[in-house]
Structure 1
Amino acid sequence: PVPASKLKGEEAWPTQPFPVAPKPFARQSVDLTEKDVSPYAENSEELKGLLKMLDKRIYAPPSIDPVLLFPGYDGAAEWGGAAADPENGIIYVNSNEMPWIMQMEAVDEENTSASFGERIYSDNCAICHRSDRTGLEFSGFPSLIGLKATKTKEEVAILIAQGKGMMTGFPEIPDNEMEALLDFLFDENTKQEVTSEKQSTYPLPYKHKGYTKFLDSKGNPAITPPWGTLHAINLNTGEYIWSIPFGETPSLKAQGITGTGCENYGGAVVTENGLLFIGATKDGYFRVFDKQNGNLLWEYKLPAPAFATPAMYEVNGKQYIAIACGGEKLGTEKGNQIIAFALE
């Protein structure tokens, strides 16, 4: 059995799967104690108090009480997936160890003083940029206060409709709602109200409070490193061949602290002759590892982080590997470049 939901009207499924092997390649929320608060955090006592009050049970459902979601909303392995050696039954998977705080709150009765644009913002934008538009910079969600000083309405309308970086697009927002939303974002609220259309769907009693990472005062994960890892797992036996920290945290590396790992998005490519190629890390490096033992063979600083999986190809008998250096995600430098390397 797993924890039941305390939210009125919600019934969580009573059981969930618990795989026997391989063992998890990321720590689990239930494993964390006060001893796991980062030794590099300047506000460690505050973090210990917060960690103590968080619900750390595995499969803890959304609740009015804060839940430690670990692995976080993005998962451990992320969207990039694993690389595979089908001949030997081995997978190579990079993982994140970024904890998040999940919390719900009761929905107040409709605020009749809110403008139409504010209600559109609340429905579509507040979950990331917060109800007061201050955002969560450390979590990658910028403040929208003073937006008119840096962008035009036309630019913002395109961004909302098409999305950008880690932000998804909202092409489904009708023109009248988009106009009201832009007025609200640009502090030109007209208090436009829509009274002729009645809500036809069931009113939701709860809403998500937003995507909040469990971070220290410097914006680093609040738990002990490693914050990113890379693993080779034998699927024939379920055993780990090797596991290593993946990536570095530049601010700590400058102090001589290495091996912390970092957030990473994007998978690896492995070759028959024993190489593993991967970008993915927030620190912006492209790395080559020995797939047999995880030893780092080569690394190259990219013009921007490559949150992508490399592509390998051949031209006139010569082998190349290319990767998209988009950057921008996680507050990193924008790249918009594709870098290719020739293999000797």
Structure 2
Amino acid sequence: MRGSLRWPGEFQITSAPAIIGDTIVTGTSIGDNLRTDAPKGTVFAFDARTGETRWTFDPLSGSPDIRGGHSNVWSTIAVDEKRQLVIIPTSSPSPDYYGGNRPGDNLYANSVVALNGDTGTVAWHFQTVHHDVWDYDLPAQPGLYQVWRDGKAHDVVAQVTKTGLIFVLDRDTGQPFLPIEERAVPQGAEQGELLSPTQPFPTATPAVVPDRLDPSDAFGITLWDKLACKAQLESLRADGLFTPPTIQGTLSLPFTGGGANWGSAAYDPRRNLLVINMNNIGQYMRLQPNITDSVKADKISDHDEFAPMEGAPYGMSRAMLASPLGLPCTPPPWGVLAGIDLDSGKIIWRQTLGTTEDVAPGGLALKLGTPALGGPIVTAGGLIFIAGTADNYLRAFNVATGRELWKGRLPAGGQATPMSYVWKGRQYVVIAAGGASNVGSKLGDNLVAFALPE
């Protein structure tokens, strides 16, 4: 770790450890954008019996000459015991929005990396974002699924991302199972930046949520609202996904909360169907010049509205693009649930997720969707259960069609992934309803179980 921590929460653990054999593996979560010379995002493996360190892996070990830290694993690690693989989703190097001190692709950052569980050495890796300057961390656990194609089973890794793209890889090699190509992306960054000329895009599966927005399509409940959003959008550089950060201001769509986020995806092996919820919200980000190392910060606000990025020639500000009434400027639905066939890559269905009931004045329940933090589960009976939205419900959907079948009221926000179990022949679904301030849901301390019909 480089230097002392600025505040106790700058370096922490936010996901449960993984276990492979008698080895415990854990990543870390490190506060974004405070400084260039940040703590390293080292993955640690410990002997479960003695507590001794067995191995470590630094995701920036593939780029030893760069200045920066992070590239940590704050989300959930996956384990393939048969192959003795620990599969990690890594994040962006520090600081998020300036990479002039870290030229090149920044190997192993923003990557699915398969490590040997005994030694921590790299078995294979696939990078989803080259030289990330957008805070497009891999936010969710790599999904280990078996896909049937032409009568044969194929073991894959499916990685959902903040960008709304889904990468499906062969689990033995890390090579694309569904095709991926490098495409040219916007250039013309601010002075000192060294962008990658291309980025990887899946070719069989389009982005689940949009990455472009014409200002004339800005959302607004009133004309005043719509015009205010339109003016904000017209002030920003917006050339689609991977538009570089600018002093002018850049549209980030999807925003840094996704697309996909922490809750990851679910899978129905009988249908080869990946089920994923994604957010459809826009954000502005703006570089602030003339920030120097003499500017020191002791913490970053919870919403990261401003961050100094010490050691870089710019600071950063960002916020959700919202109207004067506080509604997103992006057209709804603001939350989406989708089913993707992992054999063909086609999006089979797409459904609006959530209503405005618990966020709109007077409890007006408009079916506009809401951002969701919390993933889905799929049952053998063909049901999807998911909460996560800003309205306080657990919902059930038909896995084949995406049609909403039921919803159950929760005493607080269900920003978690539910689980299911069977007791004395009856199936139950249980969820932690604790709420989350960052999506505006009601806070609580509840564990709620629902029984499925007998």
- Normalised to the residue count of structure 2, the TM-score between the two structures is 0.54
Decide which moves more: 85-94 or 101-110.
101-110
Q: Does 1:125 align with 2:300?
A: yes
Residue 237 of structure 2 is aligned to residue 55 of structure 1: yes
The 1:100/1:17 distance shift into structure 2, 3 A limit, reads same
Query: Secondary structure of 2:199's match?
Result: coil
Residue of structure 2 aligned with 1:240, choices 337, 342, 347: 347
CA pair 79-254 structure 1, distance change in 2 beyond 3 A: same
C-alpha distance after superposition, 1:270-320 (max 9, x if no partner): 112211111111111111111121222111111111111111122333322
Distance in 1 of aligned mates of 2:272 and 2:292 = 56
Cα 1:254–1:230 change in 2 (3 A) is farther
2:200 aligned counterpart, secondary structure? coil
Residue 26 (structure 2) aligns with: none
Q: Kindly indicate whether residue 449 of structure 2 is the aligned counterpart of residue 340 of structure 1.
A: yes
Q: Which residue of 1 aligns with 2:84?
A: none
1:163 aligns to what?
A: none
Report 1:100-249 matches (<5 A): 100-109=283-292, 119-121=296-298, 124-125=299-300, 128=303, 203-209=311-317, 211-249=318-356
Structure 1 residue 37 and structure 2 residue 218: aligned? yes
- Aligned-partner SS, 1:44: helix
**Structure 2 match to 1:165:** none
Question: What is the CA-CA distance between 1:131 and the residue it aligns to?
Answer: 6.6
- Structure with higher helix content: 1
Which of 399, 410, 429 is matched with 1:321 structurally? 429
Could you tell me which of 239, 250, 253 is aligned with 1:67? 250
Q: For residue 443 of structure 2, what is the amino acid of its counterpart?
A: K
| Counterpart selection for 1:287 from 395, 402, 411 | 395
Alpha-carbon distance in 1 for matches of 2:272, 2:300: 44
| Secondary structure, counterpart of 2:228 in structure 1 | helix
Distance 1:72 1:208 in 2: 15
Q: Equivalents in 1 of 2:211, 2:274: separation in Å? A: 21
Q: Offset of 1:94 from its aligned partner? A: 1.0
- Give the Å deviation of 1:230: 1.0
Paired amino acid for 1:203: G
Say which SS state the counterpart of residue 288 (structure 2) adopts.
strand
Instruction: Please list every run of 5 or more consecutive structure 1 residues that lacks an aligned counterpart in the other structure.
Output: 133-200
Misfit runs of 4+, over 4 Å: 129-132, 251-257
> Does residue 15 of structure 1 match 2:122?
no
Of 269-278 and 39-48, more deviation after overlay is shown by 39-48
Alpha-carbon contact 1:227-1:262 (below 8 Å) kept: yes
1:217, CA displacement in angstroms? 1.2
Contact 1:214–1:221 (CA under 8 A) maintained in structure 2: yes
The residue type equivalent to 1:94 in the other structure is N
Q: Which amino acid aligns with 2:446?
A: Q
- CA–CA separation in structure 2 for the residues paired with 1:326 and 1:279: 12
> 1:144 corresponds to which residue?
none
- Is the contact made by 1:26 and 1:76 (CA closer than 8 Å) also made in structure 2? yes
The answer to whether the Cα contact below 8 Å between 1:5 and 1:11 also exists between their aligned partners in 2 is: no
The number of aligned residues is 265
Cα 1:108–1:322 change in 2 (3 A) is: same
Cα distance, 1:255 vs structure 2: 8.6
After superposition, what is the alpha-carbon deviation per residue over 1:234-255, rounded to whole angstroms, capped at 9, x for unaligned? 1222222211111011265969
Which has a greater percent of strand? Answer: 2
Give the SS at the match of 1:207: strand
Structure 1 window deviating more from structure 2 (39-48 vs 17-26): it is 39-48
The one-letter code matched in structure 1 to 2:297 is I
Identity of aligned residues (%): 32
Which digits, 9 at most, give the CA deviation of each residue in 1:90-117, with x for residues without a partner? 1111111111111111134566xx8xxx
* Correspondence list, 1:83-102, <5 A: 83-102=266-285
**Which protein shows a greater Rg?**
1
RMSD over aligned Cα atoms: 2.5
Deviations 1:222-267 (A, max 9, x none): 1221111111111222222211111011265969773211111111
Tell me whether 70-79 or 254-263 shows the greater mean CA deviation. Answer: 254-263
1:268 maps to which residue?
376
